[in-house]
C-alpha cells in the first residue's frame, strides 16, 4: 500500500509538472515578442515613444490610434468624445478609428508622394484541383486616396470600420530608383480567444 501511495503521488507530481510546462509554452506563444517588443507573422513592429512601429527596407513608420465605439451617441453639447487609445490597430469592437501615421525614417520619405488604400480582408476557402479547403485572401477596397507628399511627416485619417474582422492600410510610393514599394499596416476589429486569454492572465498577474 505505501508503495502504491508513493507511486500515485509521483505520477501526480509529474502530471502537475507537465501541466505547468504546457501552460508556460502556451503563455509564451501568445506573448511571443520580437526584439522590438511585439510579435507578428506579417511584419516587424515594436513600440517607440508609445507608438507601434513598422520597419521595411524602404521606410520606418510609427502609428497610433484612438477608438470610439459605434454604439456611443455623441451629446449635442459635448466638448470632447471619450476616445480610447488602442494598441497597434486592435479595436475591441466596430467603430470609428482616428489613426495617426508618423513617417519616421528616412527623412526623405516626407518628400515622396504616398497613396493610401484601406481594404477589408476576407478569408475564404475553395476546392480546386483536389486541394480541399485551400485558403486564399480576398481584399475589398474601402478607401483609396491619391498619392501626395506629407512635409510634416504625419498622416492622420478617420476611418469607420463597421464589421468585425481584419483590415489593412497600404501606403504606396516610389523610391529613388523609381521602384514601387508598399507598407502594410494591419488592423483588427473584434477579439478572439487569444485576446480574452491574454486579458484574463494580465488581470490575474496585476492582482497578484
- Residue 82 main-chain phi, psi, to 5 deg: -80, 60
Q: Are 11 and 60 contained in the same domain? A: no
Q: Are 51 and 95 contained in the same domain? A: yes
Q: Are 106 and 146 contained in the same domain? A: yes
Within a domain: residue 163?
yes
Q: Are 60 and 127 contained in the same domain? A: yes
Q: Are 93 and 16 contained in the same domain? A: no
pTM above 0.75, yes or no: no
Query: Mean pLDDT score of the chain, rounded to an integer?
Result: 76
Q: What is the band of 120 on the pLDDT scale with cuts at 50, 70, 90?
A: very high
Q: Are 65 and 157 contained in the same domain? A: yes
Q: Are 109 and 177 contained in the same domain? A: yes
Within a domain: residue 60?
yes
Q: Are 117 and 135 contained in the same domain? A: yes
Q: Are 24 and 37 contained in the same domain? A: no
Within a domain: residue 206?
no
Give the three-state DSSP class for 2: helix
Give the three-state DSSP class for 9: helix
Q: What is the band of 198 on the pLDDT scale with cuts at 50, 70, 90?
A: low
Q: Are 85 and 96 contained in the same domain? A: yes
pLDDT, tens only, 76-115? 666 666 778 888 889 999 999 999 999 999 999 999 999 9
Task: Check which CATH number belongs to the domain holding 117 and give it.
Answer: 2.60.40
Give the residue with greater pLDDT, 156 vs 7: 156
Within a domain: residue 200?
no
Within a domain: residue 208?
no
Structural domains counted in the chain: 2
pLDDT, tens only, 155-189? 999 999 999 999 999 999 998 888 999 999 999 99
Q: Are 25 and 41 contained in the same domain? A: no
Within a domain: residue 184?
yes
Residue 192 confidence (pLDDT) above 50: yes
What is the distance between the alpha carbons of residues 155 and 109, in angstroms, rounded to a whole number? Answer: 12
Q: What is the band of 128 on the pLDDT scale with cuts at 50, 70, 90?
A: very low
Within a domain: residue 139?
yes
Cis link prior to 106 (omega < 30° from 0)?
A: yes
165: exposed, middle or buried (Cβ count in 10 Å: 0-12, 13-18, 19+) = middle
Question: Are the C-beta atoms of 95 and 81 separated by less than 8 Å?
Answer: no
- The residue segments making up the domain with residue 20 are 1-32
Give the three-state DSSP class for 175: coil
Q: Are 171 and 89 contained in the same domain? A: yes
Amino acid at each position: 500500500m505505501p508503495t502504491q501511495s508513493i507511486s500515485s503521488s509521483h505520477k501526480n507530481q509529474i502530471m502537475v509538472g507537465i501541466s505547468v510546462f504546457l501552460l508556460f509554452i502556451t503563455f509564451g506563444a501568445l506573448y511571443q515578442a520580437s526584439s522590438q517588443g511585439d510579435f507578428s507573422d506579417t511584419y516587424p513592429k515594436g513600440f517607440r515613444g508609445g507608438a507601434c512601429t513598422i520597419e521595411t527596407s524602404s521606410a520606418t513608420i510609427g502609428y497610433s490610434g484612438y477608438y470610439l465605439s459605434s454604439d456611443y451617441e455623441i451629446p449635442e453639447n459635448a466638448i470632447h468624445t471619450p476616445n480610447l487609445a488602442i494598441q497597434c490597430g486592435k479595436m475591441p469592437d466596430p467603430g470609428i478609428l482616428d489613426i495617426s501615421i508618423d513617417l519616421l525614417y528616412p527623412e526623405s520619405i516626407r518628400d515622396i508622394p504616398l497613396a493610401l488604400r484601406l481594404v477589408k480582408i476576407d478569408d475564404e476557402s475553395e476546392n480546386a484541383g483536389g486541394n480541399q479547403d485551400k485558403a486564399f485572401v480576398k481584399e475589398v477596397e474601402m478607401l483609396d486616396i491619391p498619392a501626395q507628399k506629407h512635409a510634416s511627416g504625419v498622416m492622420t485619417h478617420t476611418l469607420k470600420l463597421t464589421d468585425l474582422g481584419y483590415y489593412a492600410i497600404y501606403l504606396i510610393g516610389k523610391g529613388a530608383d523609381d521602384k514601387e514599394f508598399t507598407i502594410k499596416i494591419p488592423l483588427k476589429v473584434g477579439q478572439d480567444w487569444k485576446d480574452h486569454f491574454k486579458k484574463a492572465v494580465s488581470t490575474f498577474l496585476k492582482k497578484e
